């Protein structure tokens, strides 16, 4: 698989990463341990070197899974994890105090079965802790050799600049897809200016852009708490998937592949991290890295999406309040 450098930091990853959260922490039913480890190792064997987890996924169990699954390949892969959720639970609140960052890092190292974390993100910006203190703490961890690179997640342009002035930010992780394009307004220009890589999570719109969701979700599906995935909003937003499906059919690719290829075509320093629990979906996602979209095709996709108004917030209220709007 092609490699990409995340901005000017020198951190090189596979063009497509793997979001590990869903292996055991999404959609109601994850894989058993053996199946999840097999899928992780299949991803490595197919060229993926970039894996994303967090203490909050589980909590804790996802890091343990990733640590065991990737241990045989440790020197060949980039593992990203995160701190910043109080008691490792996003709905409980935020906690990025320096002492918490240190404690979480030590615990993550043990669960990941490693002596260093390649990319350590602040999961969400904590309004009660100056971002300079956060960046300074991670800077110390980098100097100690416990962390290699510093990242932020869902941070505003102002916060990114303040953090970057203390410790260079290697990557920003935020939601970005044909289902959510807000980062184009201010975030992507800021990243380009500062030489910071972009790691879009949910590049398939939490599965919506695959075209496999066309009615009410199962009761156990965690996406039920997301307003965009109410039965009413799913029906209203299907116009987007239908339009993209037509373009994908013309290109002889799947709708999901089209969506990923579109992201990859935006900037050479963008590395999306779709997740899956199925081998055939993993292979389908990887296939997107070989799709070349022409200037005309990109213009067609953009014009199509720009002509559609999507409905529904992307987070439930308790998580929407955690978004950094400084």
- What's 180's domain CATH number? 3.20.20.100
Does this model's pTM top 0.85? My answer is yes
The strand pairing partners of 152, in sequence order, are 122, 172
Low-confidence ranges of the chain (pLDDT < 70): 26-29
Whose tokens are 């965690």? That residue is: 222
Is the residue at 252 inside a domain? Answer: yes
For the chain, what is the HEC assignment? CCEEECECCCCEEECCCEECHHHCCCCCCCCCHHHHHHHHHHHHHCCCCEEECCCCCCCCHHHHHHHHHHHHHHHHCEEEEEECEHHHCCCCCECCCHHHHHHHHHHHHHHCCCCCEEEEEECCCCCCCCHHHHHHHHHHHHHCCCEEEEEEECCCHHHHHHHHHHCCEEEEEEECECCECHHHCCHHHHHHHHCEEEEEECCCCCCHHHCCCCCCCCCCCHHHHCHHHCHHHHHHHHHHHHHHHHHHHHHCCCHHHHHHHHHHHHCCCECCCCCCCCHHHHHHHHHHHHCCCCHHHHHHHHHHHHCCCCCCCCCCHHHHCCCCCC
Is the residue at 326 inside a domain? Answer: no
Is the residue at 99 inside a domain? Answer: yes
What SS3 class is residue 7? strand
Tokens of 49: 């070197």
Is the residue at 139 inside a domain? Answer: yes
Contacts of 160 (CB under 8 A, 6+ apart): 152, 169, 172, 187, 190, 191, 194, 196
The strand pairing partners of 147, in sequence order, are 117
Q: What is the pLDDT of residue 27?
A: 52
Q: What is the pLDDT of residue 29?
A: 65
Closest CA to 311 of 235, 200, 241: 235
Q: What is the pLDDT of residue 28?
A: 53
Count up the domains in the chain and report the number.
1
Give per-residue pLDDT as tens, 234-274: 999 999 999 999 999 999 999 999 999 999 999 999 999 99
Its domain, for residue 106, covers: 3-320
Is the residue at 269 inside a domain? Answer: yes
Phi, psi of 101 (to 5 degrees): -55, -45
Q: What is the pLDDT of residue 306?
A: 95
Is the residue at 325 inside a domain? Answer: no
Helix axes 131-143, 157-166, angle to 10 degrees: 40
What Å distances lie between residue 284 and 106, 183, 198, 255, 275, CA to CA? 36, 26, 22, 10, 12
Q: How far apart are CA 81 and CA 104, in angstroms?
A: 10
Is the residue at 263 inside a domain? Answer: yes
149 in active site: no
Is the residue at 87 inside a domain? Answer: yes
Q: What is the pLDDT of residue 118?
A: 98
Q: What is the pLDDT of residue 254?
A: 98
């Amino acid at each position: 698989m092609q490699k990409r450098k995340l901005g000017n930091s020198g951190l090189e990853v596979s063009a497509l990463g793997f979001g590990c959260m869903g292996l055991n922490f999404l959609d109601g039913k994850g894989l058993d341990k053996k199946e999840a480890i097999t899928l992780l190792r299949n991803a490595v064997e197919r060229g993926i070197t970039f894996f994303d987890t967090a203490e909050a996924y589980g909590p804790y169990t996802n890091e343990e899974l990733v640590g065991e699954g990737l241990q045989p390949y440790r020197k060949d892969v980039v593992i990203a994890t995160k701190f910043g959720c109080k008691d490792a639970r996003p709905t409980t609140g935020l906690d990025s105090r320096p002492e918490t960052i240190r404690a979480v890092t030590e615990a993550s190292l043990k669960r990941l079965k490693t002596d260093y974390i390649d990319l350590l993100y602040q999961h969400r910006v904590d309004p009660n802790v100056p971002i300079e203190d956060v960046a300074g703490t991670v800077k110390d961890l980098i100097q100690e050799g416990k962390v290699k690179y510093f990242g932020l997640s869902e941070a505003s342009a102002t916060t990114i600049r303040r953090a970057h002035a203390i410790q260079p930010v290697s990557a920003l992780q935020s939601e970005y897809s044909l289902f959510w394009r807000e980062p184009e307004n201010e975030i992507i220009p800021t990243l380009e200016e500062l030489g910071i890589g972009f790691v879009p999570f949910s590049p398939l719109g939490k599965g919506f852009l695959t075209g496999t969701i066309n009615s009410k979700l199962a009761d156990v599906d965690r996406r039920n708490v997301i307003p965009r995935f109410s039965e009413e909003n799913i029906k209203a937003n299907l116009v987007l998937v239908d339009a993209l499906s037509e373009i994908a059919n013309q290109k002889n690719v799947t709708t999901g592949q089209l969506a990923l290829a579109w992201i990859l075509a935006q900037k050479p320093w963008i590395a999306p991290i779709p997740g899956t629990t199925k081998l055939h979906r993993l292979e389908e996602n990887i296939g997107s890295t070989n799709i070349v979209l022409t200037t005309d095709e990109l213009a067609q996709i953009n014009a199509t999406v720009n002509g559609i108004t999507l409905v529904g917030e992307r987070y439930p209220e308790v998580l929407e309040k955690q978004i950094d709007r400084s």
